[in-house]
Amino acid sequence: MWLRAEEKPVPAKAAEDLKVIVDRQRELLAEAAKKNSQDDGEDLRAQFQALVFDYEAYIQKYPNVAAGYVSYAMLLNKPVLEERKRAVALLLKANQLDSDLPLVKNQLGNYLAEEGKPLEALNYYLAAVKLAPKEPLYHYQIGTLLTEARDEFLKNSAWTRAVIDQSMQDAFEQATALAPGNIAYAYRFGESFYDLERPEWSAALEWWRALEEKVATPIEKETMRLHQANVLIHQAKFAEARAVLVTVKEVTLQTQKKKLVAQLPVENEK
């Protein structure tokens, strides 16, 4: 099921019927994921269409069960069907039936963000966080939105660059704290220092050094060193940056390394 145990209970028969559809949905999506091209997946199209008919019958039979609309919407959002407008209509109906579904708030926020309505999207993301404050993804979504739609937020007098920067970095930091094992979140928090109008370079350097200790592979460690060197260059600590760059040996990182080396002054200008 797509919904969580703490959300409104579903009548037993409705839950049983929905589980059958959702299980089949997962099977079909797993099969579709194994296909190498859209043409390879054509043989599944009829089965997906049958699944759509099953969902239509389900919401006709159980019009007041929000979980049915949510699961159906999640299917329609998949690339194999890509019926976003219909999916949004279903999510709005689910939200009307049960306003305490964080997944629904997040999905509606995603849609509004994609439609170029970041301020409206933020309201849904904030609602998702309020309902599920320990879900790192929802905090991450806020940080991403504030970064990508910064110019739109600045057009609104309620927002300043300082407020955006603080809120953005707080969101990424919270996502990282809630999912300490997720390197992608930690990496994005580190990158957030570059997005600040007034970066705190000392804090950034400390973060990249700490993250180097957490990753396992040589290429990951050297990637973190590239960031350390970048920060040191911003701090005009060129000798330290050069010393760090010397340790970057991975072939796939040489292009990024050369770009940083090019920013260093010649030796006698240190």
pLDDT tens, position by position, for the chain (270 residues)? 444 434 566 789 999 999 999 999 999 999 988 876 555 556 788 899 999 999 999 999 999 999 999 999 999 999 888 899 999 999 999 999 999 999 999 999 999 999 999 999 999 999 999 999 999 999 999 999 999 999 999 999 999 999 999 999 999 999 999 999 999 999 999 999 999 999 999 999 999 999 999 999 999 999 999 999 999 999 999 999 999 999 999 999 999 999 999 999 987 554
Tell me what percent of the chain is helix, strand and coil, each rounded to the nearest 5: 75, 0, 25
CA distance 19 to 15: 6
CB contact at 8 A, 94 and 44: no
> DSSP string spanning 131-187?
H-TT-HHHHHHHHHHHHHTHHHHHTSTT--HHHHHHHHHHHHHHHHHH-TT-HHHHH
pLDDT of amino acid 83: 93
